[in-house]
Amino acid sequence: MSTTMAITAAEVNKLRQMTGAGMMDCKKALTEANGDFDAAIDLLRKKGQKVAANRADRDAAEGLVLAKTSADGKKGVLVSVNCETDFVAKNADFAKMAETILEIALQNMAGDAEALKALSFGKGLTVAEKLTEQTGVIGEKIDVNYCGTLEAEFVYAYNHPGNRVASMVGLNKAGHEQVAKDVAMQAAAMAPIALDKSSTPQSVIEKELEIGKELAIQEGKPAEMAEKIAQGRLNKFFKESTLLAQEFIKDNKMNVEQYVQKADKDLKVTGFKRHAL
């Protein structure tokens, strides 16, 4: 490689915040990856560093994450309205605007942030134009970074105190609000990447297998054995990272799926959404 780019302390700190890895490890990984954060995260993981798996929402700085369901309990939306500072996030006008945007998302079941921003905010403005207007008024960037919807026989929305994380859970039948609440709180706390093994993206599975194999080879295991070890690590990954297979936080003697079935053998979690700042 020709010139190695200089890595700043701020970049090292950002990677450290994202991964929880040590300063020197972060600096080394960033240097090796030429400043590419995603590549640096993979390097850290290949070296056996315990890195937070949920990286999708790392760039959202401050703001409010809110979830709400329709009156009949069959639809829900989760929206993240973002700003640059905690000071603005706590402002009453900002909160009021975020609530209005949440309501617009729910009325229209906006599929994603771009679809939501194209909708009418009222007074001749789209949501995107309202965000731009507020950016001018407040003097810092205001944006909608996330919008997700969920439909089921029964949808429960959980807003964690402080509004930095929210989740929604869908069940195949109504009448089990406590179960839905417990599972939604589990999703908020444990940040699963998928509902179960079958809904885990293939790209994620392949990456986990590759990292597991690499680790086994570094530990001196022969290639054919490394495959088996990687498969074992993948199973552990499903247990830790998919909602239904995770240990239930209120009773770790069972997983989430067993908890749901204990309440009602025909009860199923049909989907979930989670977002955090």
Specify the pLDDT at position 4.
Answer: 57
Q: Which residues contact 139 (CB under 8 A, 6 or more apart)?
A: none
Distances (CA, A) of 50 to 16, 64, 211: 12, 28, 12
pLDDT tens digits, 166-222: 999 999 999 999 999 999 999 999 999 999 999 999 998 999 888 888 888 888 888
Specify the pLDDT at position 32.
Answer: 92
Q: What's the whole-model pTM score?
A: 0.75
Distance CA 233, CA 52 (A): 16
Give 57's pLDDT tier (boundaries 50, 70, 90).
very low
CB of 43 closer than 8 Å to CB of 209: no
Phi, psi of 27 (to 5 degrees): -65, -45
pLDDT tens digits, 15-27: 887 777 788 888 9
Burial class (CB in 10 A: 0-12, 13-18, 19+), 147: buried
Q: Among 38-42, 52-56, 70-74, 245-249, which stretch is predicted with the lowest mean pLDDT?
A: 52-56
